[in-house]
Amino acid sequence: MLKPHVTVACVVQAENKFLVVEEKVRGKATWNQPAGHLEARETLVEAAERELYEETGIVAQPQHFLQLHQWIAPDNTPFLRFLFAIDLPAICPTEPHDSDIDRCLWVDERTLLRATNLRSPLVAESLHCYRKGERYPLALLGAFNWPFTKDA
């Protein structure tokens, strides 16, 4: 039975710059969008909010759903990656709370797409999805009969 990893990621944009998080993978500094795994008792949107805060210190809610990517990593790990968009009014300071994140950077599109240290090809693909301009309402990902609340 296939049991893919369920992850969320956010394309965060402000002033035509995109937020990337830098972390070391096998000793090499890599760039990714704020991203991570869905945890128990949280919706996909809550997971995106939590990962954004943990990895950048930014408190913001995704505004749109962009894409669902079904992907198999080079090590044959299957993933379902839910991609969200967050447009901020201005570039803001960052303060990672996740010890795996070394720093956050605001970079332009060209720099991001030419980077040779992307965590996976999904980082560039996510930017392409964002640039296509197709946005879907978060309600598309509704949690049916959800018994948990943020305060529980």
Asked whether residue 152 is domain-assigned, the answer is no
In tens, the pLDDT along 105-130 reads 999 999 999 999 999 999 999 999 99
2-21 mean pLDDT: 97
pTM: 0.94
Domain containing 34 — which CATH number?
Answer: 3.90.79.10
In tens, the pLDDT along 60-106 reads 999 999 999 999 998 999 999 999 999 999 999 999 999 999 999 99
Asked whether residue 81 is domain-assigned, the answer is yes
* pLDDT score of 83: 98
* pLDDT score of 148: 84
Where does the pLDDT of residue 145 fall: very low under 50, low under 70, confident under 90, or very high at 90 and above?
A: confident
Q: How many domains does the chain have?
A: 1
Tell me the CA distances in angstroms from 60 to 31, 48, 50, 71, 105, one per residue in order: 20, 9, 9, 26, 17
Where does the pLDDT of residue 151 fall: very low under 50, low under 70, confident under 90, or very high at 90 and above?
A: low
Report the amino acid identity of residue 139: A
Q: What is the spatial distance between Cα 69 and Cα 132, in angstroms, rounded to a whole number?
A: 15
- Domain boundaries, position 107: 13-141
Q: What is the spatial distance between Cα 105 and Cα 38, in angstroms, rounded to a whole number?
A: 24
Lookup: tokens for 36 = 């991570």
Q: Are 112 and 123 in contact (CB under 8 A)?
A: yes
Asked whether residue 114 is domain-assigned, the answer is yes
Asked whether residue 42 is domain-assigned, the answer is yes
**Percentage of residues of the chain with pLDDT beyond 90:** 89
Whether pLDDT at 37 is above 90: yes
Asked whether residue 150 is domain-assigned, the answer is no
Asked whether residue 149 is domain-assigned, the answer is no
Residue whose entry in the numeric block shows the structure tokens 């990621």:
9
In 10 A of CB 14, how many CB atoms?
16
Asked whether residue 5 is domain-assigned, the answer is no
Average pLDDT, the chain: 95
Asked whether residue 3 is domain-assigned, the answer is no
